[in-house]
Amino acid sequence: MAQPMGASKLLEVLRAEGLTVHEVRNWRTHNRNTKGPWGPVNGVMIHHTVTSGTNASVDICYNGYSGLPGPLCHGVIDKQGHVHLVGNGRANHAGLGDGDVLRAVVSETKLPHDNQADTDGNRHFYGFECVNLGDGKDPWPEAQKEAIEKVAAAICRHHGWSERSVIGHKEWQPGKQDPRGFTMDGMRKRIAERLAGKGGGTPKPAPKPAYAPFPGSGFFHTGQRSSLITAMGRRLVAEGCGHYENGPGPQWTEADRKSYAAWQRKLGFTGKDADGTPGRVSWDKLKVPS
């Protein structure tokens, strides 16, 4: 048993494993803790989303849907192998599962067949949804499988767990089939090799992302067109500051100004410092991809 990691520590251990990690909106305080306990934690659970497309999958996992509020996991692993953190705390991902399976995870022994649903899994497992239709035909790119391996190894490494603390949803809850498309025994073998220093090396700092340098406040004026404006808009949406009817585009508009003003206010700027015209400090904090 272990106490759950806080948001900053989780981000730290994932990036130390060499993963590219994106922070989605208010993920650090996004949870279901008011509905039940979070922790002690005992393992990592892997799922597939039954969706396609990174943005749509991340949105569903962050927001949830009718009858099942988000977050639906702690992180989404896309087909590029990027991790999108959507929750920190109790998440609606595991549901009720087999108490015998939990006991095997705690003792890190062979998993029994899951044949009952009598134990709250949302309390005890970190959950990661992987973008895949789950139809047995949608491919699992190697980059995505390697990211699953790294995520699980990073968390196990922090808590002092072995690969036996990593399970699939299908091994926990009767009637589930995720993840479909690879075997959990095969994935646990990869995790074990990584933990032993054979799966791509020991943890190392992730390469510093390439962010667009501040182009100057004069760049942002009515009629200006640039892919940089689209990239900026997407980052504003990810930060929960988007005020777009049809999504961000390459031309600077009033929607961009309002969205950027919301970002400036989020950073604590007021008055003329939150007029929606990008400045160097707020731009550098937004981290727009180049």
Spatial contact of 32 and 122, defined as CB atoms under 8 Å apart: yes
Per the structure block, which two tokens stand in for 285? 């904090």
What pLDDT, on the 0 to 100 scale, is given for residue 19? 96
Separation CA 262–CA 118 (nearest Å):
45
What pLDDT, on the 0 to 100 scale, is given for residue 210? 79
Rounded average pLDDT over 256-270: 96
Share of the chain above pLDDT 70, in %: 96
Domain boundaries, the chain: 7-195, 217-286
- Segment 14-27, tens digit of pLDDT: 999 999 999 999 99
What pLDDT, on the 0 to 100 scale, is given for residue 200? 46
Separation CA 112–CA 98 (nearest Å):
9
Q: What is the dihedral of CA 38, 7, 84, 164, to 10 degrees?
A: -60
**What's the chain's length in residues?**
290
183 pLDDT above the threshold of 50: yes
Selected residue with higher pLDDT from 68 and 204: 68
The mean pLDDT value of the chain amounts to 94
What pLDDT, on the 0 to 100 scale, is given for residue 246? 83
Of 154, 153, 157, 120, the residue nearest 40 (C-alpha): 120
Rounded average pLDDT over 218-222: 93
Separation CA 31–CA 87 (nearest Å):
6
- Segment 36-90, tens digit of pLDDT: 999 999 999 999 999 999 999 999 999 999 989 999 999 999 999 999 999 999 9
150 pLDDT above the threshold of 60: yes
What pLDDT, on the 0 to 100 scale, is given for residue 201? 41
Rounded average pLDDT over 181-210: 78
Note the pTM of the prediction, 2 decimals. 0.71
- Residue 124: which H helix or E strand, with range? helix 121-124
Give me the architecture of the 7-195 domain, per CATH: 3-Layer(aba) Sandwich (3.40)
Share of the chain above pLDDT 90, in %: 92
What pLDDT, on the 0 to 100 scale, is given for residue 202? 42
- Segment 164-176, tens digit of pLDDT: 999 999 999 999 9
